[in-house]
Amino acid sequence: MTNNFTERAGIYVHIPFCKRKCNYCDFKSFPYPERSEEYFNALKKEILNTDAVCKTIDTVYFGGGTPSFVDERYIVDVFNLLRNKFDFDLSEATIEANPESITKSKLLAYKSAGFDRLSIGVQSLSDDVLKFLGRVHDSDMAKSAVKTALEFFDNVSCDIMLVGQSAESVAKDIEYLSASGVKHLSCYMLQIEEGTPFYDRYIKNDIKLPTDDELADLFSFAIAKLKSLGYKRYEVSNFCKRGYEAKHNLGYWVRKPYYGFGLSAHSLIGNERYGNQSAFDEYVSDPLKREFKEVLSESDIELEKIMLALRTSHGVLKEEILNKPDFYDKYKNYFYIKGDRISLNDKGFMIMNKILVDLFQ
């Protein structure tokens, strides 16, 4: 039996509203701010009717969509509801925000409610890149949002995207964010997702995209730049100054239980994983209905633990890999051993999916 309901858990809350959809994004978010009231009523209903089997909550993450797009009273209201429902013993509470909707009054409301970490969707500080991505903000807005955020929060993270811009442009962005005092950066390579404007243009051969090798080179360049400025790579896409690892996300990678509230959110409680409905009308009409539910076997769980742990620089116990000598022989240049742990090195992270497929076949 893997259920251990005395364990601490994390909470993810999905806020599915954005001012408009970016050209590359297939996350569940909609430009329907006028439906906020309806959505938050459904969200509160879901929270109130959830059986709080894992009572103690140590991390909270409000993501999206764009949580900063909606009126802050909705966010504070849900945060307080969670605080009443569960025992909060928080070590981290993060909220995602986009540059164009960051205001001092919102930041003050988040901070007063109990958030202590802000994750900003900067993506780039080049106006050309932001325009290409279809972002609402420009580079000046991003710079001013980072500055304002740092007046309220010590723990600020920024997302940046590699889309084929020049290495100089990436270096300038990273240097700017580092000099501003940003402690954590998430760095993603552009993925072309079905159902997005970029996908349609890609199918019609109507978009100039970098090759996989070009993106990989840019990523290697970004990694070196980040490391030179004192950011440690502690997960495939995540870098931070010492002590600023994202605790909530680390929870996912060590397979800690979590509740996911809101449209399309997933939960992992004991040996059950379930997901909420992802269509807006369906979620608001019945926020307790699940889109899927699976009961995981012991072997599923062991496999997931290894796959998730290999995303991080902490890795797994070295026996997990060394006891597969053929596999280890083939990939030994992609691993790094320290003490009793083994983890992927930067070269290994680059081909992580291939390595994982081989490991479990």
Is residue 25 involved in binding ligand SAM (CB under 6 A)?
yes
Residue 143-162 contact track with ligand SAM, rule CB under 6 A, x = bound: ----------------x-x-
- The C-alpha atoms of residue 200 and residue 244 are separated, in whole angstroms, by 38
Contacts of 302-307 spanning 24+ positions with Cβ under 8 A: 303/360, 304/255, 305/254, 305/255, 306/359, 307/356, 307/360
Q: Interaction with ligand SAM in 247-276: which residues (CB under 6 A)?
A: none
Contact at 8 Å (CB) between 2 and 271? yes
101 binds ligand SF4 (CB under 6 A): no
| Position among 190, 250, 309, 316 found at the interface with ligand SAM (CB under 6 A) | 190
> Does 124 participate in binding ligand SF4 (rule CB under 6 A)?
no
CB of 121 to ligand SF4, least distance (A): 5
Maximum distance among all alpha carbons in the chain?
Answer: 58
Q: Which of 16, 57, 59, 66 binds ligand SAM (CB under 6 A)?
A: 66
Binding letters toward ligand SF4, positions 28-47, x by CB under 6 A: -x------------------
Query: Cα–Cα distance between 331 and 97 in angstroms, integer?
Result: 39
Q: Can you count the helices (H) and strands (E) in the chain?
A: 15, 15
C-alpha span between 19 and 32 (Å, rounded): 8
- Subset of 87-106 contacting ligand SAM (CB under 6 A): 96, 98
DSSP 104: H
What b-and-e string marks burial along 258-285, b requiring 16 or more CB atoms within 10 Å of the CB?
bbbbbbbbbbbbbbebbebbeebeebbe
Are the CB atoms for 117 and 93 separated by under 8 Å?
A: yes
Closest separation in Å from C-beta 194 to ligand SAM: 10
- Is residue 263 near ligand SF4 by the rule CB under 6 A? no
Among 10, 67, 99, 121, binds ligand SF4 (CB under 6 A): 121
Residues within the interface to ligand SAM (CB under 6 A): 24-25, 27, 64, 66, 96, 98, 121, 123, 159, 161, 188, 190-191, 193
Residues within the interface to ligand SF4 (CB under 6 A): 18, 21-22, 25, 27, 29, 64-66, 98, 121
